[in-house]
Amino acid sequence: MHGVETWVAAILTLCIFSFLYRDNPFYKFAEHLFVGASAGYLLAVQYQNVIRPNVIVKVSHGNLLPLIPLFLGVILLGRLWDRTSGLARWSIAFYVGIYSGIAVPAYMQAQIFAQLADAVKPWGTGWQMVNAGLILLGFLSVLAYFFFSAPHGGAHGLIARIGIWFLMVAFGASFGYTVMARVSLLIARVQFLLRDWLHLIPGA
Amino acid sequence: MRSGPYVVTFLTGAVLIAIFFIPHYRAQQVQATILEWADVVYAFALILGSISLWTTHQKRIKTRAPGWIFSYVTLGALLFITTAGVVQGIDEGTMVGRLYNMVNAPLASTMFALLAFFIASAAFRAFRARNTEATLLLVTAVVMMIGRVSIGEFLWKGFPPLTEWLLDVPNLAAKRGVAIGVGLGAISTALKIILGIDRSYLGRS
Amino acid sequence: MAAERNATWARRLLGLDRRVIFLLVALATALPLLLPVNLPITASPRVRAAYEAVDALPRGSYVLMSLDYEPDIMAEVQPMAIAMFRQCFRKGLKPVVLTLYPAGPGLVESALRIASTAEGAVRNKDFVFLGYKSGSQAVILGMGDGLRQLFPQDYWGTPLDQIPMMKGIQGYSQFPLVVNLSGSSIADYYIRIAATRYHRPLVLGCTAVMATDYYPYLSSGQLRGLIGGMKGAAEYESLAGLFGDARRGMDAQSLVHVIVVIFVVLGNLALFATGGLKRNPLDSGGTT
């Protein structure tokens, strides 16, 4: 980015940061611009990268098959009116069917089989064995916690409680990393303001 | 006719499960085509969402709802970027490409960067060691926050190995449980949808 | 008397205006950028594993690199891309690069330009940029053996048949390593398809928010290495002997983290002093 573009980006960045003081018209402007610009960009992307190459170009070359998804897409817009909203069910059914079909084998192979196989591999010796035992205990107890078909009482309740402890440690780790992620973005914005806009720190 | 959509779901779902087990390139081509079609339907779902966004803001302007004047900004940006993107394209160097770098990117990253401030404030107000579970959460988070950055190692050499252990053992165990739980949940929901047992995704009509 | 004084002090602390915290966070971010001290960085085993997965490849090997992010998270992921490209060029590896995000090409081009200029690598001889392709999951599936159908030409319009480096490259089987730098569920697709279905060694670089979720896949061998967030990127830079944006940001990371931790500790001490640990957490006054 150069010149005017850097200035616009910097001013919009400051508009968003102004919310830290309190809600104000500059923030509201930037917020509304963000919503409109994001939706507009998304639409343009979908047109240029999906509808044009997959439908318009193909149909113009005599391939009429893409008219099927085009038809399904158009009837999805039927949801805008009460009288035609029922038509959209066909498109939703098609879309949901596809991703349900993909989910079954993909989850089975990558998330169930691969993870179960790893959970029961040989434990090793010494600390490795202790850690492997802890992982198995944690994994089984978390599964016990998520088993809601029976009340969490007796031995099940006790194991589920251990599961909660493991979950809390995992959530604590995730929280730590989330702070890091947000701070990273903040650092990048401050780097942009100080380096690209104000030239107070040396370039990359 | 009313059960027609369920038949569509069953057929598409069953075909895609079957294709997974057929490595023949024609089967893979069929899968690629179906996924391409799904992309087209998804594009129209986004168009539907944008129309809904448009009507919502139009209504705000009409009823002079609080802050209605800013709805013009949303509508203007939506209309302008969509039109320019459709007519000129969105690649680097086009007007939309430049607007993306100048407007969308800084706005999106600053919105998320804003959370750094709120996460700090929220941690101060709400992160409390009230019971065993909350204490575990708090202690792990504090250890991770200190141990994963350079100053942690500077303060105590034991921080990095401790954070590695937390990630490699209790975190791994819990995330594996969650992954398998999510996997089983996703598979059972998908099967219920394909077999027509769960029909809630199509609503009442 | 002392207890009462403590309680008064604690109540005052709990009622602290959140804008004071905001100001401290802002200063903790800006000051280390203006006055860096460059605290040392030690690579964690997972980042080292990622680095070594690339380093262990024999000279001339092809690496499929899918860079799937947009400018909003580039602070975390772009430094990884630059460091990895430079490592590949130094080692004589040949990255074949693509992006599944429409706003990705500009970032990939910029990373490739920085790395190739620094290491003297030549486009279409030492690396190829295939550009963007829509349909994330379909593309990842299609690259099983149909890479040329998906990308008949490179980003700048040169047909793949005219690029000698791409001769015979059809799909995953020609790549001894796949790298995905991502900030979204595309990482899951690569794990399910490239790593699990096509059994390709996979290295993942992702945002810090996502990082902890992928440890089970490291243990199961579905991932060969994991680079998490800006810290991971800084570790990778230090392994590659580079000093990029990630390392420049680490002093600020440290200071902001220390401030957050201090506030968490102070918040708990103050609430303890007022005897409020049993009360509702949001009764302590103020908003988040």
Whether chain A has a CB inside 8 Å of the CB on B195: the answer is: no
Interface of B with A in 123-152 (CB under 8 A): 123, 132-134, 136-145, 148-149
pLDDT tens per residue, range A86-97 = 999 999 999 999
Whether chain C has a CB inside 8 Å of the CB on B200: the answer is: no
Instruction: With CB atoms and an 8 Å threshold, state whether A12 touches B38.
Output: no
**H/E stretch holding A140:** helix A126-145
Neighbours of chain A (3+ CB pairs under 8 A): B, C
Give the span between the Cα atoms of A178 and A1, in whole angstroms.
Answer: 29
For position C277, what pLDDT does the model report?
59
Mean pLDDT of B46-66: 96
For position C283, what pLDDT does the model report?
47
pLDDT higher for C287 or A5? Answer: A5
Å between A82 CA and nearest CA of chain B: 10
3-class SS of residue C206: strand
pLDDT tens per residue, range A28-84 = 999 999 999 999 999 999 999 899 999 999 999 999 999 999 999 999 999 999 899
Could you say which of A45, A114, A186 has the minimum Cβ distance to residue C196?
A114
For position B25, what pLDDT does the model report?
81
Q: Which residues of chain B are within 8 Å of residue C22 when distances are taken between CB atoms?
A: 117, 120-121
pLDDT tens per residue, range A10-30 = 999 999 999 999 999 999 999
Whether chain C has a CB inside 8 Å of the CB on A56: the answer is: no
Q: Does C281 score more than 70 pLDDT?
A: no
| Sequence-ordered alpha helix ranges (H) in C67-159 | 74-91, 104-119, 136-142, 147-150
Q: Which residues of chain A are within 8 Å of residue C208 when distances are taken between CB atoms?
A: 177-178, 180-181, 184
Whether chain C has a CB inside 8 Å of the CB on B8: the answer is: no
Bridge partner list, C178 = C64, C202
Whether chain B has a CB inside 8 Å of the CB on C165: the answer is: no
pLDDT tens per residue, range C182-217 = 999 999 999 999 999 999 999 999 999 999 999 999
pLDDT tens per residue, range B123-181 = 998 888 889 999 999 999 999 999 999 889 889 999 999 999 999 999 999 999 999 99
pLDDT tens per residue, range C124-172 = 999 999 998 888 888 998 898 789 988 999 998 899 999 999 999 999 9
Instruction: With CB atoms and an 8 Å threshold, state whether C216 touches B31.
Output: no
Could you say which of C16, C219, C264 has the minimum Cβ distance to residue B172?
C219
Mean pLDDT of A172-183: 95
Q: Which residues of chain A are within 8 Å of residue C186 when distances are taken between CB atoms?
A: none
Q: Does C287 score more than 70 pLDDT?
A: no
Q: Which residues of chain C are within 8 Å of residue A115 when distances are taken between CB atoms?
A: 216, 220
- CB C240: neighbour CB atoms within 10 A? 19
For chain C, give the percent of residues with pLDDT over 70.
95
Could you say which of B86, B119, B176 has the minimum Cβ distance to residue A182?
B119
Confidence of residue C278 (pLDDT cuts 50, 70, 90): low
Could you say which of A109, A178, A185 has the minimum Cβ distance to residue C196?
A109
Q: Which residues of chain A are within 8 Å of residue B88 when distances are taken between CB atoms?
A: none
Give the span between the Cα atoms of A109 and A90, in whole angstroms.
Answer: 30
Q: Is A191 exposed, middle or buried (0-12, 13-18, 19+ CB in 10 A)?
A: buried
Starting at the edge strand found earlier in the chain, the sheet holding C177-182 runs C128-132, C94-99, C62-68, C177-182, C202-206, C225-228
pLDDT tens per residue, range B77-131 = 999 999 999 999 988 789 998 999 899 999 999 999 999 999 999 999 888 888 9
Interface of C with B in 57-86 (CB under 8 A): 70-75
- CB A68: neighbour CB atoms within 10 A? 15
Q: Which residues of chain A are within 8 Å of residue B131 when distances are taken between CB atoms?
A: none
Q: Which residues of chain A are within 8 Å of residue B141 when distances are taken between CB atoms?
A: 172-173, 175-176, 179
For position A157, what pLDDT does the model report?
95
Neighbours of chain C (3+ CB pairs under 8 A): A, B
Q: Is C50 exposed, middle or buried (0-12, 13-18, 19+ CB in 10 A)?
A: buried
Instruction: With CB atoms and an 8 Å threshold, state whether A100 touches B193.
Output: yes
Mean pLDDT of B7-22: 94
3-class SS of residue C180: strand
For position B204, what pLDDT does the model report?
58
For position C9, what pLDDT does the model report?
85
Give the span between the Cα atoms of C4 and B155, in whole angstroms.
Answer: 34
Instruction: With CB atoms and an 8 Å threshold, state whether A73 touches B40.
Output: yes
Q: Does C4 score more than 90 pLDDT?
A: no
Contact status, residue C59 vs residue C94, Cβ threshold 8 Å: no
Confidence of residue A1 (pLDDT cuts 50, 70, 90): low
Q: Which residues of chain A are within 8 Å of residue C209 when distances are taken between CB atoms?
A: 174, 177-178, 181
Whether chain C has a CB inside 8 Å of the CB on B98: the answer is: no
Q: Which residues of C61-96 are buried (b: 16+ CB within 10 A; e: fewer)?
A: bbbbbbbbbbbbbbbbbbbbbbbbbbbbbbbebbbb
pLDDT higher for C51 or B30? Answer: C51
Global confidence as pTM: 0.91
Residue B122 has phi, psi (to 5 degrees) of: -65, -40
Could you say which of B9, B132, B169 has the minimum Cβ distance to residue A97?
B9
Q: Parallel, antiparallel, or unpaired: how do β-strands C177-182 and C202-206 relate? A: parallel
* Contacts of residue C196, Cβ cutoff 8 Å, sequence gap at least 6: A109, A110, A114, C222
pLDDT tens per residue, range A136-171 = 999 999 999 998 888 888 999 999 999 999 999 999
